[in-house]
Amino acid sequence: FSPSVLGTREHWDAAYDRELQTFQDIGDAGEVWFGEESMTRIIRWLEKQKVPLDSRVLDIGTGNGVLLIELAKYGYTNLTGIDYSPSAIQLSEKIREKEGMSNIKLKVEDFLAPSAELSGFEICIDKGTFDAISLNPDDAAAKRKEYVRSLCSVLKPEGFFLITSCNWTKEELLNEFREGFEVLEELPTPKFCFGGRIGNSVTALVFQRK
């Protein structure tokens, strides 16, 4: 896939500026990336694995923070969301206040250059952030490698990484995360049929850090 404005910080700053204004005007939290079922899929997996509710969870590229709100409603108590767009964090803070979820931590952070305190997480979740980084016009291949290095630094050994992607196939993601990670499971995603072939428009995988 080709480089795109979807891979630039300017695009996301402008997008979240608009969403922030919309939320202030009419209280609409904005888009849920990959739809409601993507959040349900993650929560079901955590539940099936009996992941403790006090596990440290990091949402990489949290956007409007709605996934964290859903995790908090389910009972998770140690939640952190990061985004490199200050407008995204402002928006997620306002939604957090509206929902009364004061225990969710939100920070402006560039995941490719994480701060020292961003470490020791047992669960890392990515819905679309790796996709966006992959579209960066400025050496996306190097940025993908930085992403994997950052993931190794913030996720504890044997911690879980749940990724949802619309740009990468299962085989491609296995290749991207082969250094330091092993795949545990492919999560079911909606299927489509085209020209007699059945496929998935979205890939959802669970990795474990070695």
CB 59 within 8 A of CB 161: no
How many angstroms separate the CA atoms of 18 and 78, rounded?
29
How many angstroms separate the CA atoms of 184 and 169, rounded?
16
CB 176 within 8 A of CB 148: yes
3-state secondary structure of 176: helix
Residue matched to tokens 């349900």: 40
- pLDDT per 10-residue tile (average), the chain, 210 residues: 63 75 67 75 96 98 95 97 94 94 95 96 96 88 96 98 94 96 92 57 94
CA-nearest of 82, 68, 76 to 147 is: 82
Whole-model pTM?
A: 0.87
Please tell me what DSSP assigns to residue 187. Answer: P
Residue matched to tokens 């491609």: 172
Terminal CA-to-CA distance of the chain, rounded, Å? Answer: 29
CA-nearest of 136, 126, 146 to 57 is: 126
Domains present along the chain, CATH in parentheses: 5-209 (3.40.50.150)
Res 4: pLDDT: 61
